[in-house]
Amino acid sequence: MHRIIAAALAASVCASSAQAQTSPPSTAQDGLTLEQALDLAGANAPGVGAADAGVRAAEAQRRVAGQRPNPSVNVEVENVVGTGAYSGIRGAETTVGMSLPLELGGKRSARIAVADTQTARARLAVVTARADLRLRVTQAYNEAVASERRLLIARDQQRIATEGLRAANVRVRAGRASPLEEQRADVARINADTALAQAERAVTLARANLARLIGRDPGALDLGWFDRVAAGVGPRLPASAEGTLALAAAEAEVATANAQVRLARSQRVPDLTLSAGARRLEATNDVAAVFGVSLPIPLFNNGREGIDAARAQREQAEALRRVALLDAQQAVATAETDLANAEANARAANGPALAAAQEAARIARIGYREGKFGQLDLLEAERTLAQTRSAAIDALAAYQDAKARLERLTARAPANTEVQP
């Protein structure tokens, strides 16, 4: 009787384990998709809001740069509080006039050019912030889905270990196995319980991180997205670093430096101030017109040092642009290699390797049930299958992460952020 019960329990372990390992994980077809998560995150992202405010500030600075100097009203009183005939205010001469500065050398257009480059940089910062947010949300979504997939495996392994312990208890009581077999099964069950608890905490953390980004509880996720690996049709064309956000930011710095050089040159030209007014002569009660011209003499500061500083900053920006190009090319090449390796690992781990591990575990279960294999063979096969399933999830997570990083590195700068150097 005990042998029949032991055989029935062992068979139930094998059947449930085989079904858990071969059936695909459940997917939430109506769950929160990645694109929906990106839309939710974009609606309340503080980084994007700060970049938008930067654009408004730059546009306001552009309007300020286009404004002309304000005129001045001058009031002068002469020949008062003196001696003799000029005591008191009887001999006062009052002059009321207005002065108007005239900017020369193209200062206004140079300021506008600098403001235009700064506005372009601010718009580029918005696009960069959105690209960074997309990468961050994708990585958080990827981690949340991967953690839920790992939780499914942990639950399967915990159930298998629990049922294996029951079968071992029956086998020991029936005298078909030594107590050591029961102890091994108990250790496997304890390890499975610990792994399940760790997987549950990982899911809680990953979902909380995703919720912080999208502003609400994510609910059910699109688990099927995790398994989508792009079908490679021939070799990929290498991505170019030209036109990417990283290089566009460096080019914007060069354009700003060029505009600063132009502004420094315009500052060397002195501005002219014209004034005109009317003077009232107290002695005769007559009124006469007064005209004046003011022109500063560039004796101590002729603006040469400002031009030298602007040119040095331009050389620095051009050098940093070359550095940014090299860094972008290296980062893109590394990301392409990582993506190719991750894609190969994902296909292998979820294809032949997983199928081989499932078949080995199936054979071990049948042999253990029929008494042809020992418990150690069964535990080794189950351990290998669990590791292979975990490796498959890790490979898919690495693929999705590498794909997101490559998309971020090759993100193109829109045309409205381009400025003329």
Give the Cα separation of 52 and 46 in Å (integer). Answer: 10
pLDDT band at residue 315, thresholds of 50, 70 and 90? very high
Q: What percent of the chain has pLDDT over 70?
A: 84
Residue 345 pLDDT = 85
Element (H, E) at 326: helix 304-349
Instruction: State which amino acid sits at residue 28.
Output: A
Residue 353 pLDDT = 73
Confidence check: pLDDT of 5 > 60: no
pLDDT band at residue 232, thresholds of 50, 70 and 90? low
> How does pLDDT run across 321-337, given as a tens digit for each residue?
999 999 999 999 999 99
Give the Cα separation of 121 and 260 in Å (integer). Answer: 14
Confidence check: pLDDT of 126 > 60: yes
Query: Can you tell me the mean pLDDT for 199-208?
Result: 95
CA distances from 393 to 3, 151, 227, 350, 398 (A): 39, 11, 9, 8, 8
> How does pLDDT run across 13-70, given as a tens digit for each residue?
443 443 334 334 444 445 899 999 999 998 888 889 999 999 999 999 999 999 999 9
- The answer for residues whose C-beta is within 8 angstroms of residue 106's C-beta and 6 or more apart is 262, 266, 269
Query: Can you tell me the mean pLDDT for 216-243?
Result: 75
Confidence check: pLDDT of 389 > 50: yes
| Owner of token pair 């009052």 | 94
Domains and their CATH numbers in the chain: 2-68+103-268+303-417 (1.20.1600.10)
Residue 25 pLDDT = 44
In this predicted structure, which of 40-49, 232-241, 387-396 has the lowest mean pLDDT?
Answer: 232-241
Residue 112 pLDDT = 95
Residue 160 pLDDT = 79
Residue 11 pLDDT = 39
pLDDT band at residue 298, thresholds of 50, 70 and 90? confident
DSSP symbols for 265-286: HHTTSPPEEEEEEEEEETTTTE
Burial (CB count <10 Å: 0-12, 13-18, 19+), residue 36: middle
Q: For the sheet with 272-281, list strands across it.
A: 72-78, 93-102, 272-281, 286-294
Neighbours of 236 (CB within 10 A): 13
Residue 157 pLDDT = 85
Residue 238 pLDDT = 60
Q: What percent of the chain has pLDDT over 90?
A: 46
Query: Can you tell me the mean pLDDT for 143-147?
Result: 94
Confidence check: pLDDT of 385 > 70: yes
Residue 85 pLDDT = 65
